[in-house]
Chains A and B, each alone.
Chain A
């Protein structure tokens, strides 16, 4: 078995506040293999972005990693700090955020930003870097890459900017890309372009991708495997087709059923009652039990089983008839 590119084991993030210690990420474990796209899905406050930020060392104080380990290509990266972390992040991890403007420097041309990044992290000269910058822009589908290399970020439209960000994220040839809601701010037609682009480039280069999104449709089309998060914990993890068509965790099931489908007519939507617990009012036992139709006494007292070998972190996973 080859080492996965990213391996997270029992990762916990804590935020001390005056109401007590909040756990936005609670004992989460997953792997991402080379060339694989792992979709991390969940509603707002589920901890999906926080887990991504922990991996790249971008937690805002006072949030901090409180336990578990993060391995990148087999080496632990969670204890890294300061300069080491920055260098490793620039070289090995590419980042794509929801708002392209946060990852681009408005005062530098995109050509400068691309060449700078490559010169810092790759053993190449300026000439070569400039050549590669044009090639990178060309690859992400920016028309007239040669002319546009000297443009500033504000001269691009939203979709084009996100393409530039992708080029920037991939130019140092990282082994892992973390894409946090990369298409949420974009229109449907542009979103399809960006997702297709991300998929193609990562397949070709064998880059591992953590695709963080709340959009089940995007997950279905782009991801190989999916991790469903709820209230900071991993609810279900598995191949995307199986998780989405035969969910075992009642939360995944509810989530799928409440998503409106284009193929359905005017029907009443299934609804999960209530809303996700706030971090400072976390229920005992399984975090989902107050909203769960299958909750039994055990769920109210015993914390849900951690996801180790099974697919769903649930005492009473749903099993479809075919599987029985």
Chain B
């Protein structure tokens, strides 16, 4: 065997490359650096997310602290000193004198939290059901995928409203406001798992037929070990794409529900709630109360969506 050895030897400098190193040398990172859309939308998402996370540090006032509010400051236009108090606000104030900029920062927190949690919930549910139906097939698959089909025939906002309504009915009145956020997450998540399940099932069917899965089966690995350790890592790229696009949709869904008055309560206003509040003042001339939250929602949803679109193109080997 000596003759084979000398010639198959790898270059000696080959040590375990770190994942970060691998990532920096990858085509993916290269494509990212060269795409202006990806760079800009990534930057916008980062800024928005960071400012939401660090809202208490950035926001000039805490809009939920009644002590910091001054009703006299109500309806101050942006960047103009208030006629009574002389205070100026970057984006003006609403009817109760809350700083719009601060409410946006805090509202974005809630929007992002609800959106991300809902997607995470949908992802876990969808991946599990997708893996199970793809791997086991048979009746399990038929039932799961039929339920998914049925759910797809309803608009997801309708499904979310339905779930929201049912859940609200079961919650005692005194807990309703506290539970609203969690019910919202449950409702949006449940209306969104189908896409994940379908994609993961498709990927599972492809991967299952490959020989590395056969190799794992023949050494006696359990179905769960094979699904989680072998198949799932290879099915993650489409999941990542869907998760990103779903995040944008979930944020919009949350805003829609809140706008319709069935979402986040006024005590914890999300971007959607703010838009609903602002809408009432649009025709009386206080445009800023609606305008700035709406712009923020647009920027957030658009940049996340563009990032998702770019991801899909970059991770799709057929387009490369």
Contact = CB atoms under 8 A, between A and B. Distances in A.
Nearest to B34: A18
Contacts, number: 10
A110 B183 CA distance: 60
A225 B163 CA distance: 74
Interface in B1-45: 3-4, 6-8, 30
Task: Please give me the 7 A-B residue pairs with the lowest Cβ-Cβ distance, nearest first.
Answer: A273-B7, A274-B7, A18-B30, A273-B3, A271-B3, A273-B6, A274-B8
Nearest to A290: B7
Contacts of B7: 273-274, 291
Contacts of A274: 7-8
10 contacts: A18-B30, A271-B3, A271-B4, A273-B3, A273-B4, A273-B6, A273-B7, A274-B7, A274-B8, A291-B7
Contacts of B3: 271, 273
B251 to A, nearest CB: 35
Nearest to B9: A274
Interface of B: 3-4, 6-8, 30
Please classify the interface of chain B as helix (H, G, I), strand (E, B), loop, or mixed, using the class held by over half of its residues: helix
Interface string A8-21: 00000000001000
Contacts of B30: 18
Contacts of A273: 3-4, 6-7
Contacts of B4: 271, 273
A62 to B, nearest CB: 12
A274 B3 CA distance: 10
Interface string A276-295: 00000000000000010000
A15 to B, nearest CB: 14
Interface in A1-53: 18
A271 B3 CA distance: 9
A18 B26 CA distance: 11
A18 B30 CA distance: 9
Contacts of A271: 3-4
Nearest to B30: A18
Contacts of B8: 274
A74 to B, nearest CB: 40
B37 to A, nearest CB: 19
A115 B275 CA distance: 66
Nearest to A17: B27
